[in-house]
Amino acid sequence: MKVLITGFDPFGNESINPAFEAIKLLPNKVLNSNIIKLELPTIFNKSIEILEKKIIEIDPDIIICVGQAGGRFKITVERVAINIDDARIKDNAGNQPIDEPIFKNGENAYFSNLPIKSIVENIKKNKIPASISNSAGSFVCNHIMYGLLYLINTKFKNKKGGFIHVPYIPEQVLNKSNMPSMSLENISKSLLIAIKTSITVKKDIKTIEGSII
């Protein structure tokens, strides 16, 4: 099998992006499958174009996009992406779309078809905090997740894909107050667990991971 895993370049006021830093630490092979790593620009539309080209080029079985979730305490495996771009800040090319659909002919939302609850369960078994998230926001992270799932639902129907948000790493919060972080080692370990789980689990489990809000 082939697994494509992507991370964004730094955005906002950050000089690194823990998503791609963690991806760089991954091995190139696991469970007889190749891991292909790709850095995506934090740019609306262009990120999806680059992702689609890479999917066509390497024909992966599984695609996992990863992004930074500054302020979150745990590895959060996203459940769903929504058909909206609503940017709080400019992306890395200066775009700031407000309330625009990502694909006009797309569905309102797409659900990840990764075994998201198995991934959370396996990360937690390794003593790393993880949970399901029901929102990837409305910036480029939701955008790429929606784009990936739109492509899977319309063009690449046998592929599996989804999105994982990771916390800041400690060096990013040295001068921030009350801001959680997670070690790069644990983030990278979690991504490897997510890859292995996505390769091996055919039918997801039903664990209590819902949110009241």
Question: Active-site residue numbers?
Answer: 78, 141, 165
Options 5, 22, 136, 194; binder of its own copies; rule CB under 8 A = 136
Q: How far is the CB of 52 from its own copies (least distance, A)?
A: 21
Q: Is 162 in the site for its own copies (CB under 8 A)?
A: no
Length of the chain (residues)? 213
* Distances in whole angstroms, Cα of residue 117 to Cα of each of 93, 132, 133, 194: 35, 7, 11, 10
- Which three-class secondary structure state does DSSP give residue 120? helix
Nearer to its own copies, 27 or 210 (CB): 210
Give the distance from CA 14 to its chain's centroid: 18
Q: How far is the CB of 156 from its own copies (least distance, A)?
A: 18
- Which three-class secondary structure state does DSSP give residue 82? strand
Instruction: Let me know: does 115 contact 203? Beta carbons within 8 Å.
Output: yes
Kind and range of the H or E run holding 102:
none
Residues 6+ apart with CB under 8 A from 72: 133, 165, 167, 180
Options 46, 54, 72, 196; binder of its own copies; rule CB under 8 A = 72
Options 88, 93, 103, 200; binder of its own copies; rule CB under 8 A = 88
Q: How far is the CB of 62 from its own copies (least distance, A)?
A: 20
Q: How far is the CB of 171 from its own copies (least distance, A)?
A: 4
Binding residues for its own copies, rule: CB under 8 A, are 12, 67, 69-74, 79-80, 82, 84-89, 96, 98-99, 107-111, 117, 124, 127-129, 132-139, 141-142, 165, 170-171, 173-174, 177-183, 185-186, 204, 206-213
